[in-house]
Amino acid sequence: MFMGEYQHTLDEKGRLTVPSKFREELGERFIITRGLDRCLFVYPAEEWNVLTQKLKSLPFTRADARAFTRMFFSGATECVLDKQGRVNIPALLRAHGMIDKECTLIGVSSRIEIWSTAMWEEYVGKSGDSFNEIAEKIVDFDL
């Protein structure tokens, strides 16, 4: 399971050092793709395969299903870490996430999200106030 929040910086070649706590669980090969809310989603190969099967079951006759799968899969790229634990994030994905230099990696159970630090701080600022309200609506057990 991925959890935690880490601040990192992209180098001049668009490479990002992946936190050591995430590296082992990611495995040798993993997928980075466009995420929701202007972040990037990072999936271990096994989780990617599970998600792919779920998305394949969407009815291709629905325009919204076609649009989502197009954007999700067209931005996907298979990645490997270099010997220093870095991954090269393609320019297309950096543009989607508005990631220039400073970024934040967060663990979200079965995936990692990569955010522009400015976008993450803005998101936390907006949603932090409603955290309790959201929990009341969606969580039906004691935390």
**Integer angstrom CA distances of residue 134 from 125, 130, 142:** 15, 6, 14
CATH of the domain at 75: 3.40.1550.20
Are 108 and 2 a contacting pair, CB within 8 Å?
Answer: yes
- Over residues 70-108, the pLDDT tens digits come to 999 999 999 999 999 999 999 999 999 999 999 999 999
Cβ atoms within 10 Å, residue 49: 11
Residue-wise pLDDT for 2-57, tens only, equals: 999 999 999 999 999 999 999 999 999 999 999 999 999 999 999 999 999 999 99
Q: What are phi and psi of 45, to 5 degrees?
A: -55, -40
Q: Is residue 123 part of a domain?
A: yes
142: pLDDT strictly greater than 90: no
In a domain, 16, yes or no: yes
Is residue 45 in a domain? Answer: yes
State the first-to-last Cα distance of the chain, in angstroms, to the nearest integer.
18
Q: What is the pLDDT of residue 133?
A: 82
**pLDDT computed for residue 10 by the predictor:** 97
Higher per-residue pLDDT: 129 or 6: 6
Answer yes or no: is 143 within a domain: no
Identify whether the C-beta of residue 26 lies closer than 8 Å to the C-beta of residue 10.
no
The tally of domains found in the chain comes to 1
**Token pair of 15 as six digits:** 């490479």
Q: Which domain holds residue 125?
A: 2-138
Q: How far is it, in rounded angstroms, from Cα 11 to Cα 96?
A: 18
In this structure, is residue 129 part of a structural domain? yes
Fill in the DSSP letter of residue 80. Answer: E
